[in-house]
Structure formats: structure tokens, C-alpha cells
Amino acid sequence: MSNTVNATTSTPNAPAPANPTPITPTPVNQVLSPSREVWLSMRTNRGAMLGLIFILLLIFCAIFADIISPHGYAEQFRDNVLQPPAWQDGGSWAFPLGTDSVGRDMLSRLIYGTRLSLLIGVIVVTLSLAMGIGFGLLSGFFRGAPEISIMRLMDIILAMPSLLLSLVIVAILGPGLINAMIAVAVTYVPHYARLTRAAVMSELSKDYVTASRVSGAGTLRLMFDVVLPNCLAPLIVQATLSFSTAILDAAALGFLGLGAQPPTPEWGTMLADARQFLEAAPWVVTFPGLAILVTVLAFNLMGDGLRDALDPKLKR
Amino acid sequence: MLRFTLSRLGMVVPTFLGIIFLSFALIRLVPGDAIEIRVGEHGLTPERHAQLMHEMGLDRPMYVQFFDYVNHVLHGDFGMSLVTRNPVLQEFGNLFPATLELSIAAMIFAVVIGLPAGVLAAVKRGSIIDHLVMGAALTGYSMPIFWWGLLLILTFSQQLGWTPVDGRIGVDYFFDSVTGFMTIDSWFSDDPFNAFVSSLSHLILPTIVLGTIPLAVIARMTRSAMLEVLGEDYIRTARAKGLSTFRIINVHALRNALIPVVTVIGLQVGTLMAGAILTEYVFAWPGVGSWLVNSITRRDYPSLQGGMLLIATIVIVVNLLVDLTYGLLNPRIRHKR
């Protein structure tokens, strides 16, 4: 039912695959699935591919952290406190990126940190996406009082600087990783709610919705089965982009001492611990921040690439 | 215009009431005893506890308490700080100029560098300059600014010794606060020039840190707005008339590209306030951002409550002003239903 609006694009001038057997009749009007079309567009975007490769690497690190990290993330080597990275004087390859103030291996902590960062991204995005889609669908389908009250609530959340709102929520719930994730997720809900509502409103006026309504589809079926699949493109882009801001915001809360608590190897929390050793041991500050920056950059590159691939207006 | 102004005001009032409700709810949602949270004392006798409950009106129905709170807020009473025992509004007023000075400096930094960088990237589209500018902008946009601040302190303050690590001015300068802006007040000291230089050297690194994200946003926005404008027919006309490239870009293209850019600049207030919290914390800058973080760790909830309300109010008012200015400048927005 819903695929009536998915533009079925023909590819008359797609490059023919370099096939050694010459005469294989390929169908002239081969129909590309939407996901394949997006992939083809993404593949030409060098930045997006770079981001994707780095993200795959991160996922690999997160899954196999127990195997690839040289030491445990909380294991303390009291004889090797604040040891510099291997390539500096006094460093050794036993601790390639050096050790922190209680002798824990920096590299191992960073590798275990990928788990937390990806987990933060997934949970924050899922939470905010679920709430945002819910609010957006409700306000798009039920105009009038429900719409006004939901959108006003979203305005209130948007009026607060996001970090301030997260701080206030953490102040109420208490510091900790789970509470920090909830606090960050709440600040993203309005973006998803607005996107969903706008998409729902433009879809509702289309013929295919009327057709399924006439053929007897109930409101719930219209919401989730008919309209929602056609509103997903902007939501996917926003989700990728907020994956990166979620990691950034949760790290900021960790840095302020309100997110994950030590000895959790969350990158922002590691920075908060390391601050006092800024001059004596720059590496304990440099690497966790670099990890945050590169991860966020990778997700932003991929998000930008996805947006270009999914938004036909930007295609040239 | 009146109709437009009224409709925008009508949208702001419920938001403002919602924010007041949020701050009213905040102190009631914090786990712990209502009186201990407000008075900051522990182990009160039951009699004293009941007496305080009555004095503070906490034994009254919730809606009465809410209207009472709204009444207080509208009269400028935001409660007392538990740590200093000063009115929250007074504390905020003392610290806000520091945040404002930093934010203005950061915004100037962002515009002065971001705007030309965006224009350059658009004009040299596809060149190495374009890639460099956009790469730098995306990196800036992805920057954990708290780490960026630490890196700058490490490099410029500790290794090179060029700038001070924290604070707003050297400890050996004394003068009365007139405007609250150190770069202005320093001129009233005994040694104006050196005091000014000292305040400026304290301001540089926090400015760069706070300005980084707005800078990236402005550069990206300027580039895309310029690209759109450069494809318009009137630019081709201008070229055909034989105008110099400099004139075409700076007069014909940039002025039209500025409309979306100015809106984006106006909407950065919220980002600036969020960034100020982290920047001030890193540089021990005595502004409202670090004060808010400290009031959480000190469990000074009245300060957090009042500070949150005041900052949200400032953001709402500035966004409203941006909206109204935009309507004033662009009739299409004004008459849109």
C-alpha cells in the first residue's frame, strides 16, 4: 500500500558492470530498491564512506573489546602510574597510549569506552525517536487541542538551552549514566516530534492515504502502517545526526561530573578525572577527547552523506 | 506588523508560563525533604519543621503555591541562594555581565571569521580552499568544546605561557565594576592600558572555545546561502553588465545571502548559553554558567531554579526579538499565515 509513493527510479545510464562474459542481457528498466539507491548515492560520497568505515571499526572495537584490549578497563598497575605513551621517553609498548593517574591502561579504557559511547547513542536516539514519533503522530492526526498542547510542550523544551535542561533533569534524577541518557534524550524529542508532525501533515493530504482510509483502514493502521513509513527519510537523517550530538552531550555531562561515574571508562568522565594532570600528563587528556571528536565527526560525515542521498532536492 | 507582533507575543506567553511551571516543579521533584532542600539545614525538630512549612506556605494547596510563585517571579523575587544567603536575582545580576561579555566576544569572533570563510568557500566552490574550510567547519561543529578548552590551555597557557589559565583579569588590578565588562571597566583602573591587556588576554581562549561551534554553523550556512544566491539570474545580469567580481560578491550576492545567515546568528543564543556553561566551567570564568554547575554540586536548588528560569527567559526574549526583526525586514514572513 505504502509503496505507491516510493519513486521507482529507472537507471538507463547506470554504468554497466565490468563483466567478462559479454552477452548477459540486463533488464533495461531495472528498478532499484530505495535502500539500494541510497547506498549508490552514499558510495560516491568520500566523507560519508570514511565516516562509515570508522563507525564499523568502532562497532568492531565495542563487540570485541574483551579480546582486543590489552588490559582490563579497571585494572590498576600501581608501578606504572602516569606512564607516557610508548613513543615518548619512559613509555613502553605494554601500555601503548600510556596510563592514567591510578595506573590503568589508557588504550584499554578507550576501547571499552566505545561500548558506552555507542550504547549512549543507541539508547538516546531510540528513546527520543520513540517519544518524538509518538508525539508527532498524535499531533499530526489529532488537530486541535491535542496538537496545540503537544506542540506548546515541545516549544517549552526547545526554549531551554539543551545542556541547561539536561543539567536540570540530572539534578532532579541524580547523577549517573542512565539518568544522563534520559536527560539528553528528552532534549531531542521536540526535533523528532516537529519533523514527524510536518511529514504526517503533508502525507495526510495525499491520495493514497485517502484511498486506504476509504477502504476501511483504522486510525492506528493509518498512523503506523500507511503514513509513518513514508515519513521516515527525514527522521533517519536526524537520527544519525543526533547520534553524534548524543555522544557529545553525554560526554559533556560526564565531564561536569553529572554523567557516568568513575571508574566507568566513559570518555567525558575520563576527561574530568584527567583535568588535574593536564600539565604533568597531557596524554590522559588528549586521547579521550580525540576519541570523542573523531567519533562525533564520523557520525556527522555519515549523517551529511545520508541527508544528501535521501533528500532529492539536494541532488544535482 | 501589529498583528504579527501580537501573534508572536501570544505564542511566547504560554511558553513562558510553561517554563515558570517547570522551575516551580523542579524544586518539588528533587528527592529529599521539602524544607531541608529550601533551608539547607538538616535535623530540624518536628515543631520547627512544621513552623517552617507554614511560614513558607508549603502546607497550602499546590495551585495556590503555584500562583504565589508566579506572583513572586513577576515581582522579581526568585528566592535566596542557600550558600550565600543573597537573593538569586542579585547573584545572577552580578555574574551575568561576565557571561554576556564572553558571549558577545565569541559571537564577534564567530562572525568575523565564519562569514568570510563561508563566502570564500562558496566562491571557490570545489577547490582545495572549499574543502579545507568545510572540513574545518565540520570538525569545529563536532568539537567537544570542553576538551578543546583544555587543549588550548595546555598549548597556549602551560606550554607557551602566552595566556593566563583562568579568571577574568590579573589579581593585581583593582577597580570598581561599572559596566561589569572587564574590557571596559579596566580603563577606569590606575593602570588602564595594562589592565585592559590583562583582561583581553584572559578573554581570548574562552572566546575561541565558545565561538567555535557558532563559527562552524555560520561558515556552513553562509556557504550554502551564497551558493544559492550565486545561481540566481540577477547575478548573471550583474556579470553581463561587466561589474567586477568583488562588487558582485560583496554587494549583489552577500547582501541577499545574509538574510538566512542573520537568522541563524540570532538563533545561536541558546547554543551560546549551553556552550557558556562548559566554557566557564573549564576556564573558571565567573559567569552564570559555572555558577549553575556549582549550584548543582552544592545542592543549592533555589539558585538552580532561579538561574534556569532567568536564562530561559533571556533566550525566549532574544528569540522573540530576532523573530520580530526578521518580520520587520522581510514582509513575506510578516504576512504568512
What are the tens digits of pLDDT across the range B128-169?
999 999 999 999 999 999 999 999 999 998 888 888 877 787
Pick from A65, A176, A64: nearest CA to A112: A65
* B296 CB within 8 Å of a chain A CB: yes
Q: Looking at residue A290, what is its pLDDT?
A: 94
A110 CB neighbours in chain B (<8 A) are none
Q: What mean pLDDT, rounded, does chain B reach?
A: 86
Tell whether the model's pLDDT for residue A276 goes beyond 90. Answer: no
Higher-confidence residue of A184 and A95: namely: A184
What are the tens digits of pLDDT across the range B181-190?
878 887 877 7
Interface with A, mutate which of B17, B142, B294 (most A CBs under 10 A): B142
* B150 CB within 8 Å of a chain A CB: yes
Contact in structure between B209 and B151 (CB atoms under 8 Å)? no
- Cα separation, A168 vs B276, in Å, equals 16
Tell whether the model's pLDDT for residue B80 goes beyond 90. Answer: no
Is the peptide bond preceding residue A234 cis, with omega within 30 degrees of 0? no
B302 CB neighbours in chain A (<8 A) are none
DSSP string over A186-237: HHHHHHHHHHHHHHHHHHHTSHHHHHHHHTT--HHHIIIIIIGGGGHHHHHH
Higher-confidence residue of A82 and A311: namely: A82
Contact A271 B150 (CB under 8 A): yes
Tell whether the model's pLDDT for residue A115 goes beyond 80. Answer: yes
* B274 CB within 8 Å of a chain A CB: yes
Interface with B, mutate which of A158, A165, A166, A256 (most B CBs under 10 A): A256
B293 CB neighbours in chain A (<8 A) are 167, 256
Tell whether the model's pLDDT for residue B234 goes beyond 80. Answer: yes
* B204 CB within 8 Å of a chain A CB: no
Interface with A, mutate which of B103, B133, B147, B303 (most A CBs under 10 A): B147
Cα dihedral B104/B109/B112/B114 (nearest 10) = -120
> Residue B227 burial (CB < 10 Å; 0-12/13-18/19+)?
middle
- Cα separation, B11 vs B14, in Å, equals 6
What are the tens digits of pLDDT across the range B276-326?
999 999 998 999 999 999 988 888 888 888 999 999 898 888 888 888 887
Chain A interface residues (partner B, CB cutoff 8 A): 152-153, 155-156, 159-164, 167-168, 170-172, 174, 244, 248, 251-252, 255-258, 268, 271, 275, 278-279, 282, 285-286, 288-289, 292-293, 296-297, 300-301, 304
- Cα separation, B118 vs A247, in Å, equals 27
The reported pTM is: 0.85
Contact in structure between A125 and A246 (CB atoms under 8 Å)? yes
Tell whether the model's pLDDT for residue A8 goes beyond 70. Answer: no
Tell whether the model's pLDDT for residue A15 goes beyond 70. Answer: no
- Cα separation, B200 vs B169, in Å, equals 8
State the pLDDT confidence band at A28, using cuts at 50, 70 and 90: low
Cβ neighbours of residue B80 closer than 8 Å, sequence gap 6 or more = B86, B87, B88, B302
Q: What percent of chain B shows pLDDT beyond 90?
A: 30
Tell whether the model's pLDDT for residue A12 goes beyond 70. Answer: no
* B301 CB within 8 Å of a chain A CB: yes
Residue B295's SS3 state is helix
A268 CB neighbours in chain B (<8 A) are 144, 146
- What are the b/e assignments for B243-264, b being 16+ CB within 10 Å? eeeeebbeebbbebbbebbbbb
Q: Looking at residue B136, what is its pLDDT?
A: 94
- Cα separation, B47 vs B188, in Å, equals 54
* B256 CB within 8 Å of a chain A CB: no
* B216 CB within 8 Å of a chain A CB: no
What's the complex ipTM? 0.86
